[in-house]
Structure formats: C-alpha cells, structure tokens
Amino acid sequence: MKPARATPSRHAPSEEPARGLSAWRFVMVFGGVSLLMDFVYEGARSVTGPLLADLGASAAVVGVVTGAGEAAALGLRLVSGPLADHSRRFWAWTIAGYVLTAISVPVLGLTGVLWMACMLVIAERVGKAVRSPAKDTLLSHATAATGRGRGFAVHEAMDQVGALLGPLTVAGLLALTGDDYAPALGLLAVPGVAAIALLVWLRARVPDPVAYETVTGPAMPDDPTAGASRAGRLPRAFWAYAVFAAASLTGFATFGVLSYHLVARHLMPTAIVPVLYAAAMATDAVAALATGWLYDRFGPRVLVVLPMLSAAVPALAFTDTLGVVVAGALVWGAAVGVQESTLRATVADLVPTGRRATAYGVFAGIMGVAALAGGALAGVLYDISIPVLIGVVAGIQGAALIVLWATPAVRSTPAR
C-alpha cells in the first residue's frame, strides 16, 4: 500500500496562485502568524502549572485540566474539521480560532478563582480546535509544492520562535513583578492583535490556496486514497496510522505536570520555569526541521523516534536532579516537535484534498482521547508512584513502536 504523494506540476499557476505569493512565501507568512500567536499561548502555557498551583490546584488537578485542554484542542476538531470541509470556509474557521485564543490568554492573568482559570485554560485550547483543521488544510496546499516534510517543518520551526519569545517575556515580567501573572499575560494581547491583522492580510492576498496543490496523475489501483476519494471515506492507511499516533501520545506527560514537579520539589523558581519551557521549544524547532527533512527523503519510517522520545521523558523529567530534569524537558520538546510537524505532514500525504480537513479533525479527535488519557495518567500516577509512571509509559511506547511497524503505510513507503 503506498500513500498518495503529489508530484511537481508542469504548470506555473500552481506555484504562484495569487498576486505574486509563491508557495514558500505563503508558508513563511503563515509561519509569521503562528509565530505571533505562539508568542501568546505558549507564553501562557509555560506558567499554567505554577499558576494553577498558586490558586490551590493539586498535581492531579493540573494533570486533568491540562490533559482536558489538550483533549479539547484535539477532540473538538472532530466537529470543526468536517464543518470546515462542508462549508469550504477555511479562512473563516482559522481566523475565528485565533481570535478566541487571543482573548482567552490576557483574561487568564486577571482571574483569581481556580475554576475560572481552569475554564480559560481549556478555552484557549478550544480556540486551537476551531482553527487547526482549516489552518492545516490551507497549509497542506502550499506544502504540496514545497515538500510536505519541509513545509510543515519550517512552519513548525517558526511557531517555536514565538514559543521561545513568549515564555522568555513572561519569565522576565514575572521576575520584575514578583510573580504577578496579570501584567505578564496582559502584555500577550499585543502579539495576538498583530497575528490577527497579518492573517487577514494573507487571506486577502491568497483567498484560495488550493491553487498551490499540484495536479497528480490517475490513482494507481493499490493507492489507498483512490477508493476513499470516490466513496467519501477516509483511506484504510489513515486509520492504521492514527492508531499509532494515539498510542504514542497515551502516557505522554504535559508540561503542566513537568512544571508542577519543578515547583513542588523546589528544583527551580517559578520565574525560571518559562525559561526552561522556551529551551524546550527551541529543541522542538530543531527536531521538527530534522525529522521534516528526513521525512521528505525516507517517508514515515522516521517516526520510530517518537515513541523513544516519549518513553524517555518521565524517566528523566521526574527525578530530583535538576540537570536530569532539564534534559527530560528538552526531550519533551523534541517529541512535541515531531508531533506538531511530521505527524501532520503524513496525514496530508495519506488523504486526498477534498477530505483533508475532515481527516485532520478525525486524527486530532483520536489524539485528543489519547492526550486526555496521557495528561490524567501522568498526573494521577505521579501522585501515586513515579517509578510506576515511568514503567507504564515505557510499556505504552513500546506498544506504539510495534503498531507503527505493523502499519502498511510505513512498511511499504520507499526511500525517496
């Protein structure tokens, strides 16, 4: 079974569909939008654990809330993805989701009530659910011309520039204000407004990015997307791949739990936690670029690294030695980089254009269930026994490796 892959078009219009914006320029500008918005929400996420703890949350509450946030960010795409495909209003869904996130983060810094803070943490993630299937579909059209792995990897790397700047800004303001969250999170409204403005400009320049999508020849009989395209179903290879992705995310701890460990064990001052998060986001960018380049050469086989990274996180990050914990946080960042770039690129290669937003929504929904299980499992087992947590996660990730190698789309994809 061989996933459908775009081949270069001989016609110039697919390279530059509107007002002089090439596919690479589209990716870069869209990356600029994500850079600014990551500045906003990654700045907030870098202190989610300490903020909730300051309001009285336990490790289990932090794990459940942050896991529920990730589940909302992923699971609700089961609704937003099909709706985006049905309406074909990809830009509207993208803009609406970014607006929700841009509003939620500054308000989070103003609340002093635990339940309200929990709701805002989840609301910020709902904004990601609203926009992501449509955003990834828009981006997937341009990456048909730039190379799936490289296009998604460059976009993710630009994401992480914002994910680096946001936590560092928050850390600096927390240090200046004595751990007062209101000024730090309030300032994040500025890049939020800038991101929305740039996104509206990009929509005006390229109202229909599908023109970037290169035209392929007739589907081969063994092409897993051929029957799916005609019948409106998602291909079998997609479902097998989704099982692997879900397994790799189950047991994967959120940074909320990692940061809780740092503060609760007095390993690091609260104001320094965002700096560590920023370093993890830098590692994220490097891992995304590396695996994206390798993906374009070798296909989804490169994903064998993901379960290995995920299994290493709790073994390193939940110790009482600061240097080892820092290494664990950096490994966590590398795993997130693979999740956010190469996993998405593979979906675009497995699913035809007309069902792509739906596929991203379904894929995210499956991963959302795994994220909720991962966040809750990490938080609960952390309170019970850290060695048990390490062993359970290692077993889950070992199973994920087996599922990956048993997936036809991985076994049969030739090196390129």
In DSSP notation, 373-397 reads HHHHHHHHHHHH-HHHHHHHHHHHH
Q: What are phi and psi of 124, to 5 degrees?
A: -60, -40
Query: pLDDT for 68-91, tens place per residue?
Result: 887 777 778 888 989 988 888 999
What pTM did the predictor assign? Answer: 0.72
User: Residue 140: left if φ>0, alpha if ψ -120 to 50, beta else—which one?
Assistant: alpha
Query: pLDDT for 261-313, tens place per residue?
Result: 888 888 888 778 878 887 887 888 888 888 888 888 887 888 888 989 988 98
For residue 404, CA distances in Å to 153, 336, 399 come to: 21, 18, 9
Q: Are 179 and 270 in contact (CB under 8 A)?
A: yes
Average pLDDT, integer, range 323-327: 89
Query: pLDDT for 221-274, tens place per residue?
Result: 344 443 444 446 788 888 888 888 888 887 777 777 788 888 888 888 877 887
Q: Are 34 and 158 in contact (CB under 8 A)?
A: yes
The per-residue pLDDT for 66 is: 80
Counting residues of the chain whose pLDDT is more than 90, the rounded percentage is 13
The terminus-to-terminus CA distance of the chain in angstroms comes to 16
Is residue 164 pLDDT above 90, yes or no? no
Q: pLDDT tier at 176 (50, 70, 90 boundaries)?
A: confident
Average pLDDT, integer, range 332-354: 85
Q: pLDDT tier at 10 (50, 70, 90 boundaries)?
A: very low
The per-residue pLDDT for 6 is: 41
Average pLDDT, integer, range 212-227: 45
Is residue 38 pLDDT above 80, yes or no? yes
The per-residue pLDDT for 17 is: 53
Using CA atoms, how far apart are residues 74 and 365, in angstroms rounded to an integer?
Answer: 5
Average pLDDT, integer, range 23-43: 91
Q: pLDDT tier at 412 (50, 70, 90 boundaries)?
A: low
Domains of the chain are 21-206+234-411 (1.20.1250.20)
Using CA atoms, how far apart are residues 47 and 53, in angstroms rounded to an integer?
Answer: 10
Average pLDDT, integer, range 149-165: 85
Q: Are 340 and 289 in contact (CB under 8 A)?
A: no
Question: 367: Cβ–Cβ under 8 A, 6 or more apart, which residues?
Answer: 74, 242, 245, 246, 249
Q: pLDDT tier at 35 (50, 70, 90 boundaries)?
A: very high
Q: pLDDT tier at 16 (50, 70, 90 boundaries)?
A: low
Average pLDDT, integer, range 176-203: 88
With H, G, I as helix, E, B as strand and everything else as coil, classify residue 147.
Answer: coil
Decide: residue 321, CB within 10 A, 0-12 exposed, 13-18 middle, 19+ buried: exposed
